[in-house]
Structures are given as C-alpha cells and as structure tokens.
Amino acid sequence: MKALLFDLDDTLVVDEAVSSEAFAATARAASTGHGADAASFQRDAMRHARSLWAAGPCQSYCKAIGISAFECLWGKFEGDSEELTALRNWAHTYREQVFDAALREQLIEDPEGAADLAKTFAKERRLLQRLMPEARETLARLTPNYKLAMLTNGAPDLQREKIAASGLGNHFQAIAVSGEHGIGKPKPEIFHRLLSELGVQASEAVMVGNSLERDIAGANNAGVKSIWIKVKGSEEPDSAIPDYTIESLSEIPAILEALK
C-alpha cells in the first residue's frame, strides 16, 4: 500500500453529533426567546429540515454532490455555477421555513424570530467544529510512510471551510471535493482522478470512511481496498462490504502493517 484516501465528515471531523448540538443550542434560544419547549423544538426542527430538503428543488443536485439537509442550514454555497447559485438562493428561504415550521408546531407565529433562529443555528454550527478522536495523531503517524489524500463529498466552500477549521490540511498531498469536480462518491471516476493526481494505482490505495453507501461502495467500484469506521449516529443501511471494519482511527496503522 502506498496511499490512503480519507473521507472528511464523521471520519476526520465530527459532523452528525455537532449538528445535533447546534440544533440543541438553537432550541434553547427558541425556549428563551419565544417560550418554546426546547426538546420538542429540536425534534421538530430536525424533522422539518429533512423533509423540506427532500422536497426542495435542489435535492437532486445535493444528493449527487453529497450536500446534506443539515449542511443546507449553514453553508454559504459560494460559486457562479447554475447549481450553486440556485442552491444558495433557495437555502435562505429553506432555513427560515425550517425554524418557522418548528415554532408553528407549538402555535408560535413569529417569522422574524424564525429568521433569527436560522442565524443562531449557522453560528452555533460553526463554533462546534471539532476533530474525531485520534484523527490528528493517526495522520501524524501515517504521513511519513504513505501518500495521504482527502476525498470528500460536499459543496466546495463548505468543505474547504471545514478542512481549514480542522487544521489537518497540511497532511494531505491532494484533496478532492465532489462539488469542485461535479461528481461525487460512490462514482469511481472521482477516485480515479485523485489516484492519478497521487501517481498511484487503485491496487496500491486504501479508502477510509464512515459511509457504506458512499465511501465503501465507491472504493469497491474503483477497485480500492476499504476501511469502514463505524461511527455511532452516522450509520446507514447499504449492501457494500468493507475489507476492514474499525471503531477508532488508531486501528489503521496495524491494518496497514498486516497488508504489507
């Protein structure tokens, strides 16, 4: 093995858990400012975020590139492409609709308050960014002996913002964001582009990620070995089978030694 490809969200940086924490902080603001029941507000806001996203006009693009419902609540979606422009314009309305719907569940009508809560969520989500356990230490161990690359689905500016906040960018010789290429995991093409940039063959690389549907299935499609990191709260059903399964990034070096 000469190279490792790493996913970002819930592989190197915490995503699902901090999104829930941002909803909780926003629910507390709804309780303090509007008298809402915080627990019900959080539950309802998360539900409306998913349902409005799924029914929205940008859903097909979001799904293809890998932009989640919760990311649509705080991403800036900068760029001149037709898809990003449409997403950027729709996202502002979507955010207010999510929190307005959650307030109305408790018979609270305050559109201006909903707009303020949308801003609260975006602010809290940015403040809560943090690394997965052992992320920095594992990358430091691997850097001297392997070529490292990052392969992440998502909007260009949002994923680059997360990478900058993580402080991990200097470990990677190449970084591919699906939104910058117009194609995302599990399509094998984006794997092949990144491998070509690294100058390695598919048989010489390992993909590390938390998503069976995107990371593991994509690695299988591209002929790359895979390591699935099981992250509580980010599981999804899929038939893709990983070559290895771990619960901590610190287990990776031992797997690589065995592959030698």
Hey, where are the domains in the chain? 3-14+130-259, 16-127
Other CB atoms within a 10 A radius of the CB of residue 147 amount to 21
Q: Smallest Cα–Cα separation from 240: which of 168, 185, 158?
A: 185
Determine if the peptide bond prior to 156 is cis (ω within 30°). Answer: no
In this predicted structure, the answer to whether residue 204 has a pLDDT above a threshold of 80 is: yes
CATH number of 3-14+130-259: 3.40.50.1000
pLDDT in tens, 114-150: 999 999 999 999 999 999 999 999 999 999 999 999 9
For 70, counting Cβ atoms within 10 Å of its Cβ (0-12 exposed, 13-18 middle, 19+ buried), the class is buried
pLDDT in tens, 20-69: 999 999 999 999 999 999 999 999 999 999 999 999 999 999 999 999 99
In this predicted structure, the answer to whether residue 184 has a pLDDT above a threshold of 80 is: yes
Cα Rg of the chain, angstroms: 19
Mean pLDDT (the chain) is 96
> By the 8 A CB rule, do 21 and 218 touch?
no
For 144, counting Cβ atoms within 10 Å of its Cβ (0-12 exposed, 13-18 middle, 19+ buried), the class is exposed
Burial annotation 212-229 (CB, 10 A radius, 16+ → b, else e): bebbbbbbbbbebbbbbb
pLDDT band at 236 (very low <50, low <70, confident <90, very high): confident
Instruction: Name the H helices within the chain.
Output: 16-34, 38-55, 59-65, 82-104, 111-127, 135-142, 156-166, 178-181, 188-198, 217-222, 252-259
Q: Could you give the CA distance from residue 80 to residue 242 in angstroms, rounded to a whole number? A: 37
Write down the pLDDT at residue 9.
97
In this predicted structure, the answer to whether residue 260 has a pLDDT above a threshold of 90 is: no
More confident residue, 239 or 26: 26
Quote the pTM value: 0.94
How far lies 130's CA from each of 71, 78, 114, 125, in Å?
16, 23, 27, 10
Q: Which amino acid is at 20?
A: S
